[in-house]
């Protein structure tokens, strides 16, 4: 006899996390739009992985990672070295497929979203070699 309880609980947790992530991305997109950014892509899939958001303002291209956690401090600590490397590789793929963007440069931002919907953007959160 199999116990499907653990599998079901994991599935429910995963779906809740995905829904929370989508909510956080909507909050982040709205915050960027209020600051004058044009969101060019959401959940952009590349051969190297997914980019939560790609936005541009005045020729500056931002690859945006959205982190949702119970508090802003927890969200700020949620981007590890492996994830930064994956995001860098995905950004290279996106740029190769979309030449002409980022005439004024590019950067990597992180938008952290707390459970209460509070969002903070960390501009230029990391760079190649960090």
Tens digit of each residue's pLDDT (9 = 90 or more) over 62-91: 999 998 877 767 666 667 788 888 999 999
Contact (Cβ atoms closer than 8 angstroms) between residue 41 and residue 53? yes
Handedness of CA 17, 19, 21, 24 (dihedral sign): negative
Residue located via tokens 């959160």:
125
Residues of the domain holding 12: 5-126
pTM score of the predicted model: 0.79
The count of structural domains within the chain is 1
Please state which of the ranges 23-27, 35-39, 75-79, 99-103 shows the lowest mean pLDDT.
Answer: 75-79
Alpha carbon distance 1, 58 (integer Å) = 61
* Residues counted in the chain: 130
Give the pLDDT of residue 54: 97
CATH at 65: 3.40.1350.10
């Amino acid at each position: 006899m199999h116990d499907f309880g653990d599998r079901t609980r994991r599935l429910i947790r995963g779906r809740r996390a995905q829904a929370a992530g989508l909510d956080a991305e909507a909050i982040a997109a709205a915050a960027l739009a209020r600051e004058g950014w044009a969101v060019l892509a959401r959940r952009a899939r590349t051969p190297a992985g997914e980019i939560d958001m790609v936005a541009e303002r005045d020729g500056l291209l931002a690859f945006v990672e959205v982190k949702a956690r119970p508090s802003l401090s927890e969200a700020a600590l949620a981007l590890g070295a492996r994830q930064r490397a994956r995001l860098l590789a995905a950004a290279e793929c996106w740029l190769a497929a979309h030449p002409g963007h980022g005439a004024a440069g590019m950067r990597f931002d992180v938008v952290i979203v707390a459970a209460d919907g509070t969002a903070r953007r960390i501009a230029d959160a990391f760079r190649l070699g960090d």
